[in-house]
Structure 1
Amino acid sequence: MARRPEVFVRSLSMEEGRRLQRITRTARDPVKLRRAIVVMMSAQGQSVPNITSLMQVTSDYARDVIHAFNERGFEALDPKWSGGRPPTISQDTRERICLIARTVPAEWGITGMSTWSLRSLAAHLAERKVVASISREHLRRILRKAGVSWQTTTTWKSSNDPDFIAKMQRVLDLYDHPPSDGRVVCVDEFGPLNLMPRKGKCWRPTGRPARLRATYNRHDGVMHMLAALDLATGRMFYRIRKRKRWQEFLSLLKSLRARWPGEKLYVIADNYSPHKHAEVRSWTAGNQVELVFLPTYGSWLNWIESEFAALRYFALNGTDHRSHAEQNAAIAGYVRHHNKQARPKTNFATSSPIRSWTTYPAKAA
């Protein structure tokens, strides 16, 4: 049988990459979360067979998600399959409704309100004769379909690193051309690991969702996971500690050094201060370990991020561990399962526009 051609998502901008990363961390809808992780893995260069192995989905599903994202963008992460009668409000009117919704009442001479409620917006549309009348639910559906949602105002942050391009290209070069004298390892911290019920999804009888307890007191503190991803094999190595100071980070580096004696280690890490501690730098300088720091606010370049998203989805979501030992055992079980199926990490975001940058974009989220 002829092998099916490889399929990857289209090139993603930095803003799209960060938005996708946020979705994998915060999405509550399991469909949206699963589709977002598939897209993120594809954007990082992982093939459909790799995705199906890690996510336990069919190749047809992974390909459908990738094709849908290429055609419709982020709308494809939250598909709505529905029928019904044709709309009674024209498309031009819908677009005008959405345009007005994105304004603020003050722009229409309305004082005392900084934002629209559905009720006030519906009344304003009727007053301006945009529509004869409209219910709040119908208005909600129009806005949702057009991608206009009720959101909290937020800020955006671009990298202020003057050496952004040089650092990014250094990381991408290590991904593309692993050094012959050693191996590339991505490290990062995951956590904090609280003992708390975590919302998730599971198969249940219709109308009878699984319920988790509420917590009023959490007396057991938090733990932190320090992890490393070996790109040569795709395997993860980790340890869980009560703190994540430079001492714990240095201990992780020493364990990695002992694992691959005689090889130089190129350790890709973010700019968390313990990673740059004088004791850490001194030890790495004398032990064939080179710390390769990501650009400031450039954690999306760390290949281990997508592995953390899958770890959170499969090992923690939907759980209610009563002790750290129980939670740590669940994480250990997932990592063992991951490492059994691990493959070398190659082709990181090969079609992304970031590879053609010679200057940092003025507006990057």
Structure 2
Amino acid sequence: MRVAPEIMLTDEERTKLTKLVRSKLTSVRLAQRAPIVLLAASGMQNKAIAEQLGIGRVQVSRWRERYAQSGLAGIERDLPRGAPPLKVDPTLLVELTTQGKPVAATHWSTRKMAAELGVSASTIMRHWHAHGLKPHIVRGFKVSRDPKFVEKLEDIVGLYMSPPEHALVLCCDEKSQVQALDRTQPGLPLKKGRAATMTHDYKRNGTTTLFAALNVLDGQVIAQCQQRHRHTEWLKFLRKIDRETPKDKTLHLIADNYATHKHPAVQDWLAKHPRFNMHFTPTSASWLNMVERFFRDITTERLRRGVFTSVPELVAAINEYIAHHNTNPKPFIWTKSARDILQKVIRANRRLSSKQNGTLH
């Protein structure tokens, strides 16, 4: 039969243990272990100590033996639990993440990297978070190669940040091929504990093109839906802008380099309407046109989850959204100066050049 070790305390040891029990600064674990030793020193058996303290008999036996072997230091340290955690070299992890790829895959996942290095997925996640690495994300980009990039950039940003007096600045573009999509089955509505549902497949019921002109000053939108987006439709939209803007205002229209915007017929019409001044964004720089921000809003808020059984129904929904927007419009505020944007583009071009020359890793 196993006999519990006898605990003999000096006056100094008893005083220390008593202070640990009474002190409010003692950790919970140590405050629980100290009474075990004191009761054991009084001659009580492990079973009686466990019943009095409301803990397990095995726990009493463990800390009684630890004190008998190592004294106060024995109960101050926690027992080791399991095997020591495997460590990973952060430098190796970052290098492998940024410069290598897993077999037959384009990017690392936490599980693939964990299997490669022989550690847990949570360890990989912790190191990726610490180093700001997100292999699962890829961001799209396109750097403009327009030879007149600087000139066009300064022109457009100047209109945003210092608009001319007695003039309107309108960001214009068309959102082409807006589809009237109907779902093959009705979805279920949102309810507590369940997201709304929508079938992954759909039925196409035709398309429309949304022409829009965003007033930079107040956020008002002039819009028109048309079946196609040729130069004739663009001219029709320009006439609508001409009708719906004050005649005494000069108009500065910002548009991209789509061929219909520069068609000879359009050029002739603009020559007969001198209050219209066209400003074209650099090639591959449609992000400079603030109407793209409005297109994003209407897509996410009205079109993407919409169900439309016909093109007229789609056009009615677009018109309703724009009418509601115009009741309380809010302008988008441009904050980046031309200089800040130019510096960012220069850095991007420099890195791309380094990549093409094989010096960027």
Q: Does TM, normalized by the shorter one, top 0.5?
A: yes
> Could you say which residue in structure 2 is the equivalent of 1:227?
212
Instruction: Give the partner amino acid of 1:326.
Output: E
- The answer to which structure, 1 or 2, has the higher relative contact order (CA under 8 A, 6+ apart) is 1
CA-to-aligned-CA distance 1:39-60 (integer Å, 9 cap, x gap):
xxxxxxxxxxxxxxxxxxxxxx
Counterpart amino acid of residue 122 in structure 1 = A
Give me the whole-angstrom Cα distance separating, in 2, the residues matched to 1:201 and 1:293: 45
Q: CA deviation at 1:202?
A: 8.0
Of the three residues 101, 104, 113, the one matched with 2:100 is 104
Paired amino acid for 1:221: G
For 2:196, the aligned partner's letter is A
Match of 1:299 in 2: 286
Find the aligned partners of 1:270 and 1:166 in 2 and give their Cα distance. 15
Deviations 1:107-161 (A, max 9, x none): xxxx8877656655333212xxxxxx32x57646764774423356x87531111
Q: 1 CA distance for matches of 2:256 and 2:300?
A: 23
CA shift, 1:357, in A, is 4.1
Residues 1:333 and 1:156: Cα distance change in structure 2 (over 3 Å): closer
Verify the 8 A CA contact 1:165 1:359 in the aligned structure 2.
no
In structure 2, what is the equivalent of residue 204 of structure 1?
191
> Would the aligned equivalents of 2:172 and 2:212 in 1 still touch at CA under 8 Å?
yes
> Which residue among 108, 113, 131 is the counterpart of 1:121?
113
Residue 309 of structure 1 corresponds to 296
* In structure 2, C-alpha distance between the alignment counterparts of 1:201 and 1:164, rounded to whole Å: 49
SS, match of residue 168 in structure 2: strand
Cα RMSD between the aligned structures?
A: 3.6
Q: Which one has a bigger Cα radius of gyration?
A: 2
Q: 1:185 Cα shift?
A: 1.1
AA aligned to 2:230 is R
| Aligned residues of 1:246 and 1:277 also touching (Cα < 8 A) | yes
Structure 1: state its 5+ residue gaps: 1-87, 127-132
Correspondences of 1:177-216 after superposition (within 5 Å): 177-196=162-181, 203-206=190-193, 208-215=194-201
Q: 1:265 aligns with which of 232, 248, 251?
A: 251
The code of the aligned residue for 1:99 comes to E
Q: 1:318 to 1:217 in 2, by over 3 A?
A: closer
Q: State percent identity of aligned pairs.
A: 27
Amino acid paired to 2:256? D
With over 3 angstroms needed to count, the CA separation of the structure-2 counterparts of 1:337 and 1:354, relative to structure 1, is farther
* Alignment partners' CA distance in 2, 1:222 and 1:162: 36
User: Structure 1 length normalisation: TM-score?
Assistant: 0.61
Unaligned runs of 5+ in 2: 1-83, 353-361
Per the TM alignment, residue 232 of structure 1 is displaced from its structure 2 partner at its CA by: 3.5
Tell me the residue number matched to 1:248: 233
Distance 1:113 1:187, change over 3 A: closer
**Equivalent-residue separation in structure 1 for 2:341 and 2:201 (angstroms):** 49
Quote the offset at 1:252 in angstroms.
0.5
Does the 8 Å contact 2:107/2:136 carry over to 1? no
2: distance between equivalents of 1:264 and 1:232?
A: 14
Q: Give yes or no for the alignment of 1:337 onto 2:324.
A: yes
TM-score normalised by structure 2 residue count: 0.61
Q: CA 1:205–1:308 in 2, change beyond 3 Å: closer, same or farther? A: same
Kindly state the Cα deviation for residue 104 of structure 1 after the two structures are TM-superposed.
2.2
Distance 2:158 2:216 in 1: 13
Q: Which residue of 1 aligns with 2:307?
A: 320
| Deviation digits for residues 2-55 of structure 1 (CA, Å, limit 9, x no counterpart) | xxxxxxxxxxxxxxxxxxxxxxxxxxxxxxxxxxxxxxxxxxxxxxxxxxxxxx
Alpha carbons of 1:286 and 1:124: their partners in 2 closer, same or farther (altered >3 Å)?
Answer: same
Q: Secondary structure at the match of 2:223?
A: strand
Matches within 5 A, 1:10-159: 93=89, 96-104=92-100, 120-126=112-118, 133-134=119-120, 136=121, 139=124, 143=128, 146-150=132-136, 156-159=141-144
Structure 1 residue identity aligned to 2:346? P
CA distance in structure 2 between the aligned counterparts of 1:253 and 1:280, rounded to whole angstroms: 9
Q: How many residues align?
A: 261
